Amino acid sequence: MRVLFVVLGMLLIAPLVQAAPPSVAVEPAADLKAFRTNFRSQFPDLLLNGYVNGPYNFSKSERTQWNQIMEFPPYEFALQEGKELFETKFPDGKSYASCFPNGGIGIAQTYPKFDAISSKVATLGIALNECRDAHGMQPLNLTKGPPAAIETYMVHTSRGKPIDVTIPDDPRALAAYEAGKEYFYSRRGQLNFSCASCHVQAAGKRLRGDVLAPALGIAAIFPIYRSKWGDMGTLVRRFIGCNKKVNAQPVKADSARYRNLAYFLTYMSNGLPMAAPGARP
């Protein structure tokens, strides 16, 4: 009799015990293909490499103004400053070149990278700070100022090279990628928009006075000189700005959230040519 009750009891509680959700395979390569196909079917006349020019593909007046401002690229000063800072030796005699393959020249297109030792994604800005840390120096701002200038110089040496972000077959790397992907497609903030709301669903359309860039190719041009800022800014600077724009609470610049988002977003532009530093309204 007691056995019967125990069995009945177990049968009753069984539905209340949640089974582990079925594991969905993380397939970045398949995601990339679907991402591209979505945009290319939306804009059949746009060449794949042209996506790096973002809003300028959709607005003649913005393109004309861009051509005018590029007579003397507005990031020229940051480029010069960045080169000087990049080549300045640390107090211990070493320099940034000692922390990167090929002395840091022509390698920016491989970032963000998954760091197997720290189990975290490292963007170029974070790698620069890790370099500083390894040589006994304080980390710098990840969004603007001198570190943005150094990034400006480093990405410039990679101009034209196809973006080449690697997602190793490591469950931690795949989890970081998946977290970035989830963030991209999740709604947030008072305005309840996701990144995709503007940069996928409304790509090429106007948002107030601006033309929205498609998410494909958007990572190829950072850091950018943004006329609105009158200054250079990194991808993270823009993430924080976008959060604020939808009245969502931004988080710290070096947080996992933005690292993973950068990982996903840059991977989605794999194969497209680096067109950084960029100039945007």
Partner 1 sequence: MAYTILIRAMASGGTTTVETLVKHPMDSGFVKGKDGKIIPGHYIEVIEFAHNGNIILTGYWGPAISKNPFSKFSFKGGKLGDTISVSWVDNKGEHTSTSAKIM
Residues 52, 231, 86, CA angle at the centre, nearest 5°? 85
Considering only residues 212 to 251 of the shown chain, the ones binding partner 1 according to CB under 8 A are 230
Considering only residues 159 to 198 of the shown chain, the ones binding partner 1 according to CB under 8 A are none
Instruction: Note whether 80 binds partner 1 by CB under 8 A.
Output: yes
Please check whether residue 250 is in contact with residue 237, taking contact to mean a CB–CB distance below 8 angstroms.
no
Q: How far is the CB of 193 from partner 1 (least distance, A)?
A: 28
Among 27, 76, 87, 92, binds partner 1 (CB under 8 A): 76
Task: Quote the CA–CA distance of 281 and 226 in Å, as a whole number.
Answer: 6
Where do runs of H (alpha helix) occur along 88-202? Answer: 124-134, 146-156, 171-185, 195-199
**Piece in contact with partner 1 (CB under 8 A), picked from 71-79, 91-99, 184-192, 211-219:** 71-79
Q: How far is the CB of 85 from partner 1 (least distance, A)?
A: 12
In the shown chain, the binding pattern of residues 96 to 135 toward partner 1, with x for contact by CB under 8 A and - for none, equals ----------------------------------------
Q: How far is the CB of 94 from partner 1 (least distance, A)?
A: 25
Q: Which of 99, 195, 198, 242 is catalytic?
A: 242
**CB atoms near residue 180 (< 10 Å):** 24
Q: How far is the CB of 78 from partner 1 (least distance, A)?
A: 10
Q: Is 195 a catalytic residue?
A: no
Helices and strands (H, E) in the chain, number of each type: 10, 7
Task: Quote the CA–CA distance of 213 and 205 in Å, as a whole number.
Answer: 8
Task: Quote the CA–CA distance of 139 and 146 in Å, as a whole number.
Answer: 11
| DSSP state letter for 162 | B
Nearest CB to partner 1, comparing residues 109 and 143: 143
**Piece in contact with partner 1 (CB under 8 A), picked from 74-82, 114-122, 190-198, 200-208:** 74-82
**Piece in contact with partner 1 (CB under 8 A), picked from 66-74, 143-151, 185-193, 255-263:** 66-74
Among 19, 22, 45, 72, binds partner 1 (CB under 8 A): 72
Nearest CB to partner 1, comparing residues 77 and 90: 77
Task: Quote the CA–CA distance of 138 and 140 in Å, as a whole number.
Answer: 6
Instruction: Note whether 77 binds partner 1 by CB under 8 A.
Output: yes
Among 74, 82, 273, 278, binds partner 1 (CB under 8 A): 74
Query: What does the block give as tokens for 60?
Result: 């003649």
Q: Please list, in sequence order, all residues whose beta carbon lies within 8 angstroms of the beta carbon of residue 148, skipping any fewer than 6 positions away.
A: 78, 82, 125, 141, 223, 232, 233, 234, 237
Task: Quote the CA–CA distance of 32 and 174 in Å, as a whole number.
Answer: 14
Catalytic residues: 242
Binding site for partner 1 (CB under 8 A): 69, 71-72, 74, 76-77, 80, 230
